[in-house]
Structure 1
């Protein structure tokens, strides 16, 4: 199986689905994380956008190693400026076709961050179009089985599919620690991303709460585009 996570920013994979990625990697699945942006707006003003992007790319690659990710890639969209356009939709169609995944993970459509919302729309629409032979891009059509959306607890996101990550929660938090610049940024940012103050503690608590709903110690939750309920996302 090939699991492809398409995320807006370098720390999103660890935050939203790090346990699930690690679990699939551990059972031998191929796992890819494609980042829409390098997160160059995620700085406190003391560095240039280019310097922030370089730091965040390195952090994402280090986090990917912790999670066991096979491929960490960047799609070169601009942070804070991802738009849901036809041209970008076709770019995402070709991304899906290039990687030819069985399953896709991405953001939930209702989210405060505009990049998250735009990414959710682009991926969902590209998923629909990726199998169409007359929609021509650089790579041949593919037909992923499903898209699973992850989201913030502050949105209308209500998980329907749960993955038991009891044995992988510590790895998720270890991967998060590789995003050192963002742990600091989210604390200093304050207010707007208040649910991520004390990020590691918040994510551990969220995992335990979702675990109670799922009947296990810790879980991550998703909303599937097509209804399924499995221990793994397959």
Structure 2
């Protein structure tokens, strides 16, 4: 089985679905983390975009290694400037066909960050187009089983598929810790989005809350594009 997470920025995969990715990797599934951008806006103004991107790419590769990912890739979009267009949709179609995943994980459609919202729409529409033989790209059609959306608790995002990540919480938190450059940035950014205050504690607590809802120690929640019963994501 091949699980592909397509996320907007380095650290998104770790925060939103790191336990699930680690769990699939531990059971021998193939795991790919594809980043739309290199996160070059994730700085406090003391470094250039190129310098920030280089650091964040290294951190993302280290994080992927902690999670057990087989591949960590970057799709070449610009941080804060992902736009919806047919050309960009076809770029994601080509990426999906190249990966040939069984399931795809990505952002929920509603989110404060515009890159998350656009990524969700691009991946959803590319998922549909990836199976169409007449939609020509370098790789042939593929037909992933499902798309699973992750996100922040909101009035719209209500997960219905839960993964028991109790045995993988430590690995998830260690993966997040690899993003050292983001600690100061996210703390400063907490003035805009309070969830970034005490990030690791907050993520741990959220897993416990979802776990209590489902009778396990810790869990991650997803909203599937197609509803179906599943032990794992696929």
- What's the TM-score, normalizing by structure 1? 0.98
1:166 partnered with 2:166: yes
Deviates more, 1:75-84 or 1:179-188: 179-188
* Structure 1 residues not aligned, in runs of 5+: none
1:72-221 to structure 2, matched below 5 A, reads 72-154=72-154, 156-221=156-221
CA contact (8 A) 1:164 1:231 kept: no
Shift of 1:88: 0.3
Shift of 1:153: 2.2
Q: Distance in 1 between matches of 2:68 and 2:125?
A: 28
Match of 1:27 in 2: 27
Q: Distance in 2 between matches of 1:60 and 1:29?
A: 20
* Structure 2 residues not aligned, in runs of 5+: none
Q: Distance in 1 between matches of 2:58 and 2:123?
A: 25
Q: Distance in 1 between matches of 2:197 and 2:128?
A: 36
Query: What is the root-mean-square deviation in Å for CA atoms of aligned residues?
Result: 0.8
Q: Deviations over 1:105-126 (max 9, x none)?
A: 0000000000000000000000
CA contact (8 A) 2:101 2:144 kept: yes
Q: Distance in 1 between matches of 2:68 and 2:194?
A: 29
SS of aligned partner of 1:125: helix
Match of 2:4 in 1: 4
- How many correspondences in the alignment? 234
- What's the TM-score, normalizing by structure 2? 0.98
Q: Distance in 1 between matches of 2:92 and 2:104?
A: 12
Q: Distance in 2 between matches of 1:33 and 1:125?
A: 19
Shift of 1:230: 1.9
Q: Distance in 1 between matches of 2:155 and 2:86?
A: 26
Match of 2:45 in 1: 45
